[in-house]
């Protein structure tokens, strides 16, 4: 988003700023140069204030400063957000081309200070103006303008411009509370127009992440990248003594700035994945054996899980058939306990009561043998003949005949595999 794009949005916040003087008449601004001369001109349309009622308007006092005459306010909260070279160079190019379309806010410093003003908001614009080689333009408040008033204006401005991060705001709020700018969190929240719970949560998170050196060294370099929820989650984990004990040694192995904000929790607190050890059951190479691209592979891991990876478009029909045989062998071994169920389903799916009664005995025995083999059962011809005889006679109906056939004449008859054919 360019300086131009943000000017319209920021204007809404600017119209709500406290402490501006209202008077009747046309909107004017005064721009003073380094020589002390002033030039009174109409306010540009993009910066026209809101006409509230009866012709009453705001008067904005604007001055232009060399970047060397300006220093940051001690409570400014832009520690990194939007301050990267690419973002600043883009803003500088916009200002060089179109001028500074959005004013900063400055507070005058007392006589004798090395600088003329301190920037309350507009730090990005100040740096961009320095890079563009032009003077920085800002609305100027006098030295008596309080820190609490400055905080309210800065918070409102940053809600509209390129955002200051959750932790940058939290550190600023903590610094102002520590310095006595606000008596309490409630007073701070009321002044800046923020919900007290949000202030309280942000301060608690900041106190954890910046309260101990082991986590501060990793969080501070990337604090401008943190979203609120990510920062809160990290702080909650750091506050847990048991989890912190495991995270500290991991933190010592990391270098500041090397881990992005959205990856820091994972690196410190996620349980490490146990490396999988896979044993190849079958491998076919595309090229010469033992080299080239793997065209088909069946693996089994320590937990007994298995996987098949195949480049189907690179398999000949013969190779596909061989792979299917290996897959069937693995399936039979892995589902051995359910072999009877699989056989019953196969028989129910491939035979009908009529076909079993009317077919040739040898053919029916062959069907039983084939289905048993496909199900992982190595039955001999006598077992297959006994099962075929039960299927042919069906003394108590077809479904029960299948159940009895699979159970075998020397096994318990009954619903070993539930309802057949479902």
pLDDT, tens digit, for every residue of 134-191? 998 988 888 888 888 888 887 766 654 556 778 888 888 888 888 888 888 888 888 8
What pLDDT does residue 239 have? 92
What one-character-per-residue DSSP string does 22-39 give? EEES--EEEEE-TTS-EE
Strands, sheet with 306-310, edge to edge from the N-terminal-most edge strand: 278-285, 294-301, 306-310
Residue 345 lies in a domain: yes
- E strands in 259-305: 278-285, 294-301
pLDDT digits (tens, 9 = 90+) for 343-392: 888 888 888 888 888 888 888 888 888 888 877 788 888 888 888 888 88
Residue 44 has pLDDT above 90, yes or no: no
Which of 334, 349, 368 terminates a domain? The answer is: 334
Same domain, 133 and 245: no
> What's the rounded mean pLDDT across residues 235-256?
90
What pLDDT does residue 83 have? 65
Q: Residues 8, 73, 100, 225: is their CA dihedral positive or negative?
A: negative
Same domain, 79 and 105: yes
> What's the rounded mean pLDDT across residues 35-48?
42
Residues 122, 154: Cα–Cα separation, whole Å: 9
Tokens 């048993």 sit on residue:
372
Same domain, 249 and 315: no
What pLDDT does residue 248 have? 93
Length of the chain, in residues: 422
Residues 106, 142: Cα–Cα separation, whole Å: 9
Same domain, 223 and 257: yes
> What's the rounded mean pLDDT across residues 194-216?
89
Calculate the average pLDDT of the chain.
75
Range of the domain at 9: 3-164
Same domain, 16 and 127: yes
Residues 42, 27: Cα–Cα separation, whole Å: 6
Which of 138, 164, 190 terminates a domain? The answer is: 164
Same domain, 249 and 282: no
Residue 97 has pLDDT above 90, yes or no: no
Same domain, 219 and 343: no
Residue 306 has pLDDT above 70, yes or no: yes
Residue 315 has pLDDT above 60, yes or no: yes
What pLDDT does residue 237 have? 92
Residue 315 lies in a domain: yes
Q: How many separate domains does the chain show?
A: 4
What pLDDT does residue 236 have? 92
Residue 269 has pLDDT above 80, yes or no: yes
Residue 29 has pLDDT above 50, yes or no: no
Under the banding of pLDDT at 50, 70 and 90, the label for residue 240 is very high
Same domain, 9 and 69: yes
Residue 421 has pLDDT above 80, yes or no: no
Per the rule left: phi > 0, alpha: psi between -120 and 50, beta: everything else, 75 is: alpha
- Judging by beta carbons within 10 Å of its beta carbon (0-12, 13-18, 19+), is residue 363 exposed, middle or buried? exposed
Residues 380, 391: Cα–Cα separation, whole Å: 17
> What's the rounded mean pLDDT across residues 68-91?
74
What pLDDT does residue 7 have? 40
Residue 181 lies in a domain: no
pLDDT digits (tens, 9 = 90+) for 271-290: 765 555 778 888 877 765 54
Decide: 159 and 13 in contact? Cβ < 8 Å: yes
Long-range contacts for 324-328 (Cβ within 8 Å, ≥24 apart)? 326/281, 326/282, 326/298, 327/298, 328/374
Of 31-45, 71-85, 101-115, give the range with the top mean pLDDT: 101-115
What pLDDT does residue 276 have? 58
Decide: 119 and 76 in contact? Cβ < 8 Å: yes
Same domain, 57 and 103: yes
Residue 175 lies in a domain: no
Same domain, 356 and 396: yes
């Amino acid at each position: 988003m360019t300086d131009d794009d943000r000017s319209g949005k920021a204007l809404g916040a600017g119209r709500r700023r406290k402490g501006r003087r209202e008077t009747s008449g046309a909107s004017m601004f005064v721009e003073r140069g380094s020589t002390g001369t002033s030039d009174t001109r109409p306010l540009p349309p993009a910066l026209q204030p809101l006409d509230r009622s009866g012709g009453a308007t705001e008067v904005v006092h604007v001055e232009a400063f060399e970047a060397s005459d300006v220093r940051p306010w001690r409570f400014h909260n832009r520690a990194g957000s939007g301050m990267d070279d690419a973002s600043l160079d883009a803003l500088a190019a916009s200002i060089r081309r179109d001028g500074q379309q959005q004013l900063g806010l400055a507070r005058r410093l007392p006589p004798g200070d090395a600088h003329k003003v301190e920037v309350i908001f507009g730090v990005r614009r100040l740096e961009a103006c320095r890079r563009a080689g032009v003077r920085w333009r800002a609305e100027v408040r006098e030295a008596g303008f309080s820190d609490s008033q400055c905080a309210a204006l800065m918070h409102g401005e940053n809600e509209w411009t390129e955002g200051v991060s959750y932790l940058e705001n939290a550190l600023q709020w903590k610094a102002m509370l520590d310095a006595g700018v606000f008596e309490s969190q409630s007073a701070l929240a009321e002044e800046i127009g923020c919900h007290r719970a949000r202030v309280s949560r942000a301060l608690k998170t900041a106190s954890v992440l910046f309260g101990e050196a082991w986590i501060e060294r990793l969080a501070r370099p990337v604090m401008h990248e943190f979203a609120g929820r990510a920062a809160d989650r990290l702080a909650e984990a750091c506050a847990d003594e048991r989890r912190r004990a495991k995270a500290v040694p991991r933190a010592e192995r990391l270098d500041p700035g090397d881990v992005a904000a959205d990856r820091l929790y994972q690196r410190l607190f996620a349980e490490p994945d146990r490396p999988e050890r896979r044993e190849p059951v079958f491998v076919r190479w595309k090229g010469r054996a033992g080299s080239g691209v793997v065209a088909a592979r069946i693996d089994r891991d320590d937990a007994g899980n298995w996987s098949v990876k195949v480049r189907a478009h690179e398999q000949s029909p013969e190779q596909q058939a061989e792979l299917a045989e290996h897959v069937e062998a693995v399936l039979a071994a892995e589902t051995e306990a359910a072999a009877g169920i699989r056989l019953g389903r196969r028989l129910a799916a491939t035979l009908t009561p009529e076909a079993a009664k009317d077919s040739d005995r040898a053919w029916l025995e062959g069907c039983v043998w084939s289905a048993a083999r496909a199900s992982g059962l190595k039955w001999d011809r006598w077992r297959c003949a006994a099962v075929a005889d039960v299927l042919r006679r069906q003394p108590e109906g077809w479904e029960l005949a299948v159940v009895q056939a699979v159970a075998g004449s020397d096994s318990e008859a009954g619903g070993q595999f539930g309802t057949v054919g479902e």
